[in-house]
Chains A and B, each alone.
Chain A
């Protein structure tokens, strides 16, 4: 049973459109992350959170908002989508914390195309 689930798995929108990507984890992890994956750039961190109501800025945050509503749920928001945001997005949870390794557990990915 998948412990990190993302929706939608595929999304097509137009420039200027509004997109919300959803992620739910059942690992009871405190940390959750949003990454984008692009050829030649690998995995790049957009935002992350260490608990409900908390948000930390990642390495490529421009054009993205995020919100962590519960320990389980983490959302990525693109309010004015642009073609440069066409990418494969991964959500992940982590066992980071005192004494833990910080191993990531990834969702299946959400492919976003902005026309």
Chain B
């Protein structure tokens, strides 16, 4: 079946160091878009990045991700983590048949903790 896998439940990194959150997927959907949602403490999830284009780097707020359909991955990276990046991160895909992206599948989330 269709699924999104985030292998790390918790990632701890020191401020200023690079961070990578992993995301892989399985899907049979014909039309797909990929997202990273971020959820800060006591807030609602909000979109951080989105992409539908294979091998194209997408960037926002210092984070970047590249969709690689060959390896079914959409990893999130940042070259220098900040304390304010501490949050829960969800990888998700939106898919459907015939051009509609109405079915969303979320990973289980990765909690990023940035330490001084």
The segment out of A12-20, A66-74, A76-84, A95-103 that lies at the interface is A95-103
**Which listed residue (B35, B45, B104) contacts A45, Cβ 8 A?**
B104
- A109: B residues at CB distance < 8 A: 44
Q: Assuming A43-B45, A43-B90, A108-B44, is B99 touching A96 (CB within 8 A)?
A: no
Contacts across chains A and B counted by CB atoms under 8 Å: 69
Grouping DSSP codes into helix (H, G, I), strand (E, B) and loop, the A interface class, with mixed when no group exceeds half, is loop
**Which listed residue (B37, B46, B47, B102) contacts A96, Cβ 8 A?**
B102
Q: A31-B102, A90-B44, A101-B35 are in contact. List 10 more A-B contacts (CB 8 A).
A: A43-B90, A96-B94, A96-B100, A100-B100, A101-B50, A102-B33, A102-B94, A102-B95, A102-B101, A103-B50
Residues of B within 8 A of A (CB): 9, 33, 35, 37, 43-47, 50, 52, 90, 92, 94-96, 98-104, 106-109
